Structure 1
């Protein structure tokens, strides 16, 4: 199963909870965006993106996100979520996610999100700090 996530430098493991199931007995479609959020935050920890947020007032906001459901996930299961940055620009970056079900041994969901850097003090877009851009580049090269 590791080969399904070879192209993703960060992997997040999540246990499917019984309460995430819907009336059709599979994980509710909205839950996948929480899975993506958890994976995104793991990536942010890796690159120290939120470390100086209180001082700099600059951080990421979600500009766009999408999800493609390939196979239903049911309880019990453990999911592995690969995350990577596929596009890096001056003021934004796009992340891609791939979710693999350990029970099925297959990719069950793919998604993406565009994060725009925002200056929360001045309420304007901001540039990605150089150390963050370099941390993304270094993470993607490993």
Structure 2
């Protein structure tokens, strides 16, 4: 089994300061398992909601979600579960772009138990821009890259 890399580098406080964007949510009953824990698939739902809120925050919704010629695909998505989360807990989901490529960009996630300030999960994923007609990856428009670069000063 491959070694799992710890995304939280060099330490929790420094890592959390890298995020400009976050969105809040509360664990619903339907998102828990028989033991009252947040079900593992629900983490990915929170990542998706944070991603959509991030696009909205950067005014990228039209460009990425409502374009007649292009669409986005989540090419990969990874979650490292670090601790338990329970029904009705308030969560903060942090998100940032860590890399801009030619046809894709990489995102990083942090899921925080708000009351306790505990990082319960981290995640990574890649988003690819695809042409609707050819179904092949296509270059990210420069204006999209510039919006993300302006919002994410570490890029």
For the criterion TM > 0.5, the same-fold answer is: yes
* Aligned-residue offset at 1:141: 1.8
* Aligned-residue offset at 1:130: 0.7
- The reply on whether 1:45 has 2:60 as its aligned counterpart is no
Aligned to 1:134, the other structure's residue is in SS state: helix
Number of the residue aligned with 2:112: 100
> TM-score under structure 2 normalisation?
0.83
**Root mean square deviation, CA, Å:** 1.9
Higher relative contact order (CA 8 A, sep 6+): 1
Which of structure 1's runs of 4+ aligned residues deviate more than 6 A? none
Matches within 5 A, 1:77-88: 77-88=89-100
8 A contact 1:10–1:42 mirrored in 2: no
8 A contact 1:80–1:100 mirrored in 2: yes
8 A contact 1:93–1:115 mirrored in 2: yes
8 A contact 1:47–1:132 mirrored in 2: no
Number of the residue aligned with 1:136: 148
* Aligned-residue offset at 1:56: 4.6
* Aligned-residue offset at 1:113: 0.9
Number of the residue aligned with 2:38: 27
**Larger strand fraction of residues:** 1
Gaps of 5+ in 2: 1-12
Q: Deviations over 1:53-87 (max 9, x none)?
A: 54452132110000000001002211001100111
The count of aligned residue pairs is 141
Gaps of 5+ in 1: none
